[in-house]
A and B are shown apart, each in its own frame.
Chain A
Amino acid sequence: MADAGSNVNVGGAVTLDGRFDIFPSSPLPQYDSPAAKAFMAQSKRDPDDSLLAMILDWRAPPQIDMMSALRNFTPASMVRVIEWGVVPWAPENRRLMAVVMERPGGDRVMAGPKATFDPFDEGMIVKGVLMPLLPVIRDLQARGQTHRNIRPTNLFFTDSQNKQIILGECYTAPPGMYQPYWAEPIESHMTDPAARGRGRLFDDIYSLGATILALAIGRAPVPDGDPHQLLLNKINYGSYAALAAQHRVSLPIAELLRGLLSDDLKERWTIREVELWMGGRRLSPKQPKLPKRATRPFELAGREYFNARALALGFGTEWRNASPAIRSAAFDTWLKRSLSEETLVERIAKIANPATSKDSGEGERLVARTSIALIPSAPLRFKGLALMLDGIGDLVASSLDNAERRGILSELFQARLAPVWLAGQIEPRSDTARWQQAFEKAPQYIISGTAGYGMERCLYELNAHLPCLSPIVDRFYVTNMAEMIWALNDYARNPGLAPKLIDRHVAAFCAVRCKQMSDQWLRPLGDSEQTSSYKIGVLKIIALVQQVSKIEQAPDLTKLLAEMLKPVVDGFHNLKQRKKMHQDLEAAGKTGKSAEILALFNDIQVIDRDEKAYQSAQASYQKTATQISLLHIDASNAHHHAKEMGEQVAAIASGSIATLVASIVFLVYFI
Chain B
Amino acid sequence: MTDFPTMPRSAQSTASKVIGGVIVVGVCVWVLPTVLVLVVGMAPTIVAFFTDRRREKYAAFCVGFMNLLGVLPVALGMWTRDHSMDSAMRNVTNIFNWFMMYGAAAIGYGLYSVTPAIVAFVLRLQIERRIGKMQGYQQELIDEWGEGVTEGAKTDHDKAAQDAAAALDDNDKK
Contacts and interface: CB of A to CB of B under 8 A. Distances in A.
The A contact surface, by secondary structure, is: helix
A649 B76 contact: no
A622 B120 contact: no
Nearest to A646: B116
Interface string A573-584: 111100000000
Given A624-B138, A641-B123, A647-B112, A665 B65 contact: no
Contacts of B112: 647, 650-651, 654
Interface in B45-78: 54, 56, 58-59, 61-66, 68-69, 72-73, 76
A661 B142 CA distance: 56
Nearest to A575: B146
Given A628-B131, A631-B130, A573 B149 contact: yes
Interface in B94-124: 108, 111-112, 114-121, 123-124
B152 A622 contact: yes
B69 A658 contact: yes
B157 A621 contact: no
B135 interface: yes
A654 B119 contact: no
Nearest to B148: A573
Contacts of A573: 145-146, 148-149
A436 B119 CA distance: 91
Interface stretch (B15-23, B31-39, B160-168): B160-168
Interface of A: 573-576, 614, 617-618, 620-622, 624-635, 637-651, 653-655, 657-659, 661-662, 665-666, 669
B150 to A, nearest CB: 6
A648 B58 contact: yes
A655 B149 contact: no
13 contacts: A573-B148, A625-B156, A626-B160, A629-B161, A635-B124, A642-B117, A646-B116, A649-B115, A650-B115, A654-B108, A658-B65, A658-B69, A662-B72
Nearest to B127: A635
B149 A633 contact: no
Contacts of B58: 647-648, 650-651
Contacts of A633: 161, 164-165, 168
Contacts of B65: 651, 654-655, 657-659
A628 B134 CA distance: 7
Residue from B112, B116, B164 with most neighbouring chain A CB atoms (10 Å) = B116
A637 B168 CA distance: 9
B120 A638 contact: yes
A647 B115 contact: yes
Residue from B115, B135, B143, B164 with most neighbouring chain A CB atoms (10 Å) = B115
B150 A654 contact: no
Contact of B116 (A650, A654, A661): A650
A286 to B, nearest CB: 89
Contact of B141 (A617, A634, A653): A617
B120 A661 contact: no
Contacts of A657: 65-66, 69
Contact of A576 (B59, B72, B131, B144): B144
B168 A618 contact: no
Residue from A573, A629, A630, A651 with most neighbouring chain B CB atoms (10 Å) = A651
B141 A620 contact: yes
B30 interface: no
Nearest to A653: B111
B144 A646 contact: no
Nearest to B159: A626
A630 B73 contact: no
Contact of A665 (B54, B73, B115, B149): B73
Contacts of B56: 647-648, 651
B127 to A, nearest CB: 4
Contact of B66 (A634, A645, A654): A654
A666 B76 CA distance: 8
B7 interface: no
A637 B172 CA distance: 11
Contacts of A640: 168
B66 to A, nearest CB: 6
Given A621-B138, A629-B157, A649 B119 contact: yes
A323 to B, nearest CB: 61
Given A635-B127, A649-B119, A630 B141 contact: no
A627 B66 CA distance: 41
Contacts of B121: 642
Contacts of A661: 69
A654 B156 contact: no
B9 to A, nearest CB: 41
Contacts of B61: 651, 654-655
Nearest 4 A/B pairs, CB to CB: A646-B116, A642-B120, A658-B65, A647-B58
B170 interface: no
B156 A626 contact: yes
B120 A646 contact: yes
Contacts of B152: 618, 622
Contacts of B123: 634, 638, 641-642, 645
A49 B124 CA distance: 105
Given A647-B54, A648-B56, 19 more contacts: A573-B148, A575-B145, A617-B145, A617-B149, A618-B145, A629-B157, A630-B160, A630-B164, A631-B134, A632-B131, A642-B116, A645-B116, A646-B117, A650-B62, A651-B61, A654-B64, A654-B112, A662-B68, A662-B69
B153 interface: yes
Residue from A573, A575, A625, A634 with most neighbouring chain B CB atoms (10 Å) = A625
A617 to B, nearest CB: 5
A629 B164 contact: yes
Given A573-B145, A629-B164, A647-B115, A658 B120 contact: no
Nearest to B164: A633
A38 to B, nearest CB: 65
Contacts of B146: 573, 575
Contact of A635 (B62, B128, B138): B128
Contacts of B135: 628
Contacts of A653: 111, 115
A618 B149 contact: yes
Given A629-B160, A629-B164, A633-B161, A575 B144 contact: yes
A655 B68 CA distance: 10
A651 B127 contact: no
B80 interface: yes
Contacts of A669: 76, 80
A617 B137 CA distance: 11
Contact of A650 (B111, B124, B154): B111
B153 A621 contact: yes
A175 to B, nearest CB: 62
A348 B142 CA distance: 76
A608 to B, nearest CB: 16
Contacts of B150: 621, 625
A645 B116 CA distance: 7
A183 B53 CA distance: 121
A647 B138 contact: no
